[in-house]
Every structure is written in C-alpha cells, then in structure tokens.
Amino acid sequence: MDTILVTGGAGFIGSAVVRQLVRDGKRVVNLDKLTYAGNPESLKTIAKATNHRLVEGDVLDGEMVLALLREERVEGIMHLAAESHVDRSIDGPGAFVETNVVGTFRLLDAALEYWRGLEGEQKQAFRFHHISTDEVFGDLPFDGSMFTEETPYAPSSPYSASKAASDHFVRAWHETYGLPVVLSNCSNNYGPYHFPEKLIPLVILNALEGKPLPVYGKGDNVRDWLYVQDHATALIKVLTQGAVGESYNIGGNQERTNLAVVEAICDALDERRPLESGGKRRHLITFVTDRPGHDRRYAIDASKIERELGWAPQESFDSGLAKTIDWYLDNEWWWGPIRSGNYAGERLGADKK
C-alpha cells in the first residue's frame, strides 16, 4: 500500500499520522477542509517532501473525493476528518452531524464507487480505515471495568453520538456492499500540535501565562491517556495489517483524573519555568460548573490490537507529558498565533479542490 488518502491530515492526530507515513516513504494525499483546527503549520517538517500533497477540500464533496481517488490511484483511506470538541458539539450540534455523519456517508459512497472500479490485486488490497473514539461507548463506573470492542454503544454527547452514527455507517457499507473496512476507537490523545482548546494544551499555556486553570466539577472524571505518536503508529498497523471488518480499541492504559493531569502540568512547569512571583501554579486551579452529560470515566482494553497486530504504547503518561510540555515550551511559533487570535487556518501550500 503505497498511496494513502488521509482525511483531516492537517489536524492534531491526522498530522501525526501524515508525518509518520511520509517518513515511512508512503505517498500521502492529505485532504483537509482547513477549518480552525486544520493547521498547515503542523506539517512544516514535511513541507518539502515530494511524497506529500495537501489538498484543501471537504469530505462532503463526494464528487471531488471520487475524482481525487481516481487521479491519485489511492490504495487506502484513513478517515480522520471530524469535528471533535465536546463543548462545541453542545453549543452547535449541527456541524457535527454534517461533518461526522453526512461527511462520512459521502466519503463512503465515493470510496465504494472507486473500489468497485478496481480490479485484481488492487481491489483485494484496498482498505477504508475509519478512526473513531472511545466516547461512543458512553462512560464507565469507578471500578476495574474497561471498554472492549464488544462494548455496546451508549453515547452521551452530540459529538459522541455523531461518531457512533458514523461507525455504524462504516460497518453497514461493509456488510451491505462488501467495502473492505477496518475501524478503530481510541482513548484521549495528547502531544505536540494539539489545538489549545483541549485540556492538556489549554492548561499548559494558561499555566505558562499565569492564567486561571479551569477544571470541570471536582476534577474527578477519569480518562485513559494515549500519546499521539503511539496512536499514529497503531493506526498505520490497523490500516496495513488489520482484518477486514474488524475493529480495534487503542488506548494508553494510563488512567488519570482530570485534576491529577492538571496538577502534574502545574508541577512540571514550576520546575521548568517558575512563576516570577515564586508561587505554585496549583493555586491557579479554578473549579467550574460541570458540562451537561459529562462522562465519568473512560478506560480502554487494548489487548486485541496488542495480541493480533503486535502494537503496544511506548510512552507512559509521565514520559509523554514531559515531551508534550517541552514541545510547547520550545514551539511558541506554532501556538502563539492561535492564542493571539491571529490564526484562521491559513491555506498555505494547499491545492484547492
């Protein structure tokens, strides 16, 4: 599989996947709408790579997608394009239905027509990899239980409901039309190039600037944290080695309460870059009203992908968080324009479709 279409490849997880594929020598066609979360600067390290093409376009445009698949003779699709912020989904669920549900439907239709036109080994080798989230499973009690691939879906937010719907559409296109698909559901990602509305980058940057650190409720909601580069490696394994029709849960096996995450960031920054006042950043923590439908706990059982595909995370939460904090300290050129409000997802170096 030498030519891969990645949707949402200028986003946080997508750009990590694209950078890895390009380093592996694959030809990557990177289709991204370049909304607020799609940042071409996240692809700066591969800007001169001849095996990467960034295309500005929307998965809702099925005819454009089909033409692109044919033009590039794509051998696999990794579908990461999605609206992904729970708070935004509560305030404006319509965009999540359009992108995550209708967009996936249009992409599936284009992929099916393209796949039907392939022959022989090309048709046999083609894969459609749909990347999803553990939030489709709802939440867990505070015990030793974990999400498995057989856990029933029980989404709590408009975001997770839209991702659950898209998962079902992907499975239906496999069962009804035979489209060769694989699926994966991941736990909370963190790492470099993470848009600073999400918990870890928001806390890092607020803490650097001595601003309040908002924590929902009492901060006792638990998440399983997965370093983004570990996730990218897992996704490529699922695409290239996963069994058709199967789904794989991908997690870091690193559960932490939200409050523990915020406190760890405060302590690490106090060591690396103390406040001028000499105070401790934990004093900046501010508890705010919990959001509606806030899931209590997520935990992923990733034994299937480890057993069948030989993948396991390389980073602990402590090592991954240290790398993440150091990256933000060293790369203000990336996050500075976003924080200052001078960023609008500039369409740098992208073909328009």
Helix axes 199-208, 258-272, angle to 10 degrees: 40
**3-state SS class at 275:** coil
- 347 has a pLDDT exceeding 60: no
Query: What is the C-alpha separation between 75 and 124, in angstroms, rounded?
Result: 10
Q: How do residues 163-197 score in pLDDT, each as one tens digit?
A: 999 999 999 999 999 999 999 999 999 999 999 98
Domains of the chain: 3-195+225-253+296-314 (3.40.50.720)
Query: What is the C-alpha separation between 142 and 147, in angstroms, rounded?
Result: 13
Q: How do residues 4-44 score in pLDDT, each as one tens digit?
A: 999 999 999 999 999 999 999 999 999 999 988 899 999 99
Beta partners for residue 147, in sequence order: 300
What pLDDT does residue 345 have? Answer: 44
248-257, 260-269, 287-296, 310-319: segment of lowest average pLDDT: 287-296
**DSSP classification of residue 293:** T
**Catalytic center residues:** 134-135, 159
| Average confidence (pLDDT) over 121-143 | 96
The model carries a pTM of 0.94
Q: Which whole-number Å values give the CA distances from 34 to 7, 13, 99, 191, 252, in the listed order?
A: 11, 14, 13, 20, 28
Rounded CA Rg of the chain? 20
- Mean residue pLDDT of the chain comes to 95
Alpha helix positions (H), the chain? 12-23, 62-72, 86-91, 93-96, 103-116, 120-125, 158-177, 199-208, 228-241, 258-272, 303-309, 317-330, 332-339
Share of the chain above pLDDT 70, in %: 97
334 neighbors 41 (Cβ within 8 angstroms): yes
Query: What is the C-alpha separation between 177 and 10, in angstroms, rounded?
Result: 30
Q: How do residues 80-106 score in pLDDT, each as one tens digit?
A: 999 987 888 899 999 999 999 999 999
